[in-house]
Amino acid sequence: MICVVIKGPTYLEARQQIERALPYADLVELRLDLFVNVDETSLLELKSIFSIPMIFTLRSQAQGGNFNQSEESRVEHIYRLAALKPFYLDLESHMPEDVVRDISSLHPEIQLILSYHNLQETPENFDHLYADMQKIPAHFYKIAVTAKSSVDTMRLLVWSKNQNAKLIPISMGPNGQISRILGPIVNHPFTFASLDEDPKNPLGQLSAKLLIEQYRYRTLTSQTAIYGLIGDPVNLSISDETHNAVLAACGMDAVYVKIPVKSTELSPFLELAKALPIRGLSVTMPLKKSIMSFIDHLDVKAEKIGAVNTLQFKEDQIYGFNTDGMGAMEALETKCGIQGKHVVIIGAGGAARAIAYEAVQKKALVTVINRSPEKAYEIAHAFGCQGKGLHEMPACAQVGYDILINCTSVPMPIAFEDILLHVLVMDIKTKPKVSLFLENALKKGCQVIFGYQMFIAQALGQFKLWFKRMDRNKSQKILEEKVMTSLSSIKTERLILRPWRESDLEPFAKLNADPRVLEYFPATLTREESDALAQRIISKMDEQGWGLWAVSLPGVSDFIGFIGLSKVLFEASFTPAVEIGWRLAYDFWGKGYAPEGALAALQYGFETLHLDKIVSFTTVQNERSRKVMEKIGMKHHPEDDFDHPRLSLEHPLSRHVLYSVRAQDFFSLNPKKA
């Protein structure tokens, strides 16, 4: 079951939150310590309106809550809450035993949850803790502990799978998120989820919608197989979105999760993994080489490459494979053959090794270039190719090459002039779709291979190892669809900035026909004009991988307008430039959505596109938009105000004000986004 946490803080907001939770929740927890007050009349009203089971919780500060009065006062409040007869009542394990027994005796119809929270660590001995808690009779026992690593979470999962059905174990924090997903597989009665997605949630709670739609929480059972990604970091990977979509479409009783694991944690992690129904793992940096010593059976190709990106678990044994090089070759061969081509690989990590090995096997002439030449020399010696230092790239370019591959995390690891005209260029990074490296290659007239193309090919190779009867064509189609959606989306606290859909055209036309929305534009748009504008936006998004994103407000509206970035090419003192802009339906004005989405778009522009400056402009009269520009840290530059070249000088909206912000100023104003 899924319990959605309701935080108020007003009772009106609580009611709205419960209404939004109903499609996803089996029960809700009212965190009354976060409410403005404990109002018994309002609580009875909520109970009368909603039939969904409720947990009443008044969490003390000592246990991570917000109730700041004395413990005596809290106990008095809890007695009054019990009198309201909620379906469940949370009582902390440190409460006097006689109080718990008294409440149980007075209200036997209430299911009591005895809860323990450790905000500092995960205890070593769960048995002792659980035995102590069970000395006090309760319907459920909640053990919530802070996971300092995924090993802590794995210990809790392995231990809990052999306990009784009264136990609700939770690993808190980012390292503990898998405990919230995998609960049904290890027989946890329910998990706690947030109403909305919040990447900053310190408890690591996932939204109920995400649990259901991405991880298929309601279908997970003790028979479900676990697959996942391990590495450090893993948070930027889109594999949980893509792979779970494939598993769902192909009817596989399996789930895919991301697990942060450091090199020093490999030994205990893998031992614990064998005690769970884990059947396969993808391996990313920095584990591809260090994990090899823990593998029982190493594929011949992986052994020669000296790196592993795929694990298979069979009968308490771990098998290691490498699909990176094969994936890169498949992506490259959609454009040209490899044999006889001069391939220059920048970087010397696990992926670079795999690509170099496969390219040599296909009789390519390979040169590996790396900042630390010794690593390039080592690969060259192992595979019979050339190795050079990064400082030798200009000489390499002078000699010439056919294929250039960036296997580093550096946005632009070589000089612009070292990218030759009209060669084939690949960047193995998945995000952004058009990296700075590829953007510069396109300027040189090069054909490009996107990182997601290699990602898809190597993932299909992993699926072939894990699932003998999976439909490759179907899997590839789903991977392509999910990858493109994921690469083009941005999530904020309340919004999703995403690619456009056909269903957006009608509400977009309605928005563009509203004179309040287009007050500072020359005219409202007809349906045909609105559709044409949308198609231009969509074309730019498809071409660049970024642009003016459609905006969804989850749980409220699938389309409320657009927010995003666009290139400004008309002649002016500040062009060419990249502009940030927004247009939202009138019903969603005044709620902070424009600055929230605009800040995320600015961050994308500076972090992902590596822009130095972003501008925004509007008519002099548009005070509302100017306030948003100022709210997101942009500064007005009166000396650059201009008459819009697409309006006559006599037009009342001709005069425009220019605002801008530079990357360094944005991050100094928003240090948490740096």
Q: Is 237 known to sit in a ligand binding site?
A: yes
Q: Is 349 known to sit in a ligand binding site?
A: yes
Provide the residue count of the chain.
674
Query: In 3-state terms, what secondary structure has residue 538?
Result: helix
How far apart are the C-alpha atoms of 354 and 347, rounded to whole Å?
11
Q: Looking at residue 504, what DSSP letter applies?
A: G
Report CA 349 to chain centroid distance, whole Å.
24
Cβ neighbours of residue 177 closer than 8 Å, sequence gap 6 or more:
171, 204, 206, 257
Q: Is 59 known to sit in a ligand binding site?
A: yes
Q: Is 565 known to sit in a ligand binding site?
A: no
Q: Is 284 known to sit in a ligand binding site?
A: yes
Q: Is 179 known to sit in a ligand binding site?
A: no
- Cα dihedral 303, 309, 313, 316 sign: positive
Name the active-site residue from 209, 288, 341, 375. 288
For the purposes of burial, counting CB atoms within 10 Å of the CB of 541, is it exposed (0-12), middle (13-18) or buried (19 or more)? buried
Name the active-site residue from 77, 107, 142, 644. 142
Cβ neighbours of residue 493 closer than 8 Å, sequence gap 6 or more:
196, 197, 198, 200, 596
Alpha helices, DSSP H, located in 275-367: 300-305, 324-332, 350-361
Residue 360 sits at the vertex; the CA angle it makes with 356 and 364, to the nearest 5 degrees, is: 105
Residue 407 · residue 437 · CB < 8 Å: no
Q: Is 398 known to sit in a ligand binding site?
A: no
Q: Is 347 known to sit in a ligand binding site?
A: yes
Q: Is 31 known to sit in a ligand binding site?
A: yes
How far apart are the C-alpha atoms of 318 and 581, rounded to whole Å?
51
Q: Is 264 known to sit in a ligand binding site?
A: no
How far apart are the C-alpha atoms of 133 and 141, rounded to whole Å?
7
| 217-to-144, 202, 269, 343 alpha-carbon distances in Å | 20, 22, 24, 45
Q: Is 205 known to sit in a ligand binding site?
A: yes
**Residue by residue, what is the 3-state secondary structure of 109-129?**
CCEEEEEEEECCCCCCCHHHH
Concerning whether 117 is annotated as a catalytic residue, the answer is yes
Q: Is 350 known to sit in a ligand binding site?
A: yes
How far apart are the C-alpha atoms of 476 and 497, rounded to whole Å?
25
Q: Is 204 known to sit in a ligand binding site?
A: no
What CA dihedral angle connects 504, 507, 510 and 511, to 10 degrees? -80
Q: Looking at residue 194, what DSSP letter applies?
A: B
| 152-to-142, 165, 179, 264, 291 alpha-carbon distances in Å | 17, 21, 10, 14, 19
The single residue listed with the structure tokens 């279908």 is: 219
The single residue listed with the structure tokens 């020669």 is: 304
- The amino acid occupying position 354 is A
The single residue listed with the structure tokens 């550096």 is: 410
Q: Is 30 known to sit in a ligand binding site?
A: yes
Q: Is 583 known to sit in a ligand binding site?
A: no
How far apart are the C-alpha atoms of 22 and 53, rounded to whole Å?
11
Q: Is 646 known to sit in a ligand binding site?
A: no
Concerning whether 388 is annotated as a catalytic residue, the answer is no
Cis omega before residue 522 (within 30°)? Answer: no
Q: Is 239 known to sit in a ligand binding site?
A: yes
Q: Is 177 known to sit in a ligand binding site?
A: no
Name the active-site residue from 107, 117, 258, 375. 117
Concerning whether 644 is annotated as a catalytic residue, the answer is no
What CA dihedral angle connects 195, 197, 203 and 205, to 10 degrees? 60
Alpha helices, DSSP H, located in 147-264: 150-160, 177-181, 208-213, 239-249
Pick out the residues of the known binding site. 29-31, 59, 180, 205, 237-239, 284, 309, 324, 347-351, 428, 451, 458
Catalytic residues: 117, 142, 288
Pick out the residues of the known binding site for shikimate. 237-239, 284, 309, 324, 458
Pick out the residues of the known binding site for 3-dehydroquinate. 29-31, 59, 180, 205
Pick out the residues of the known binding site for NADP(+). 347-351, 428, 451
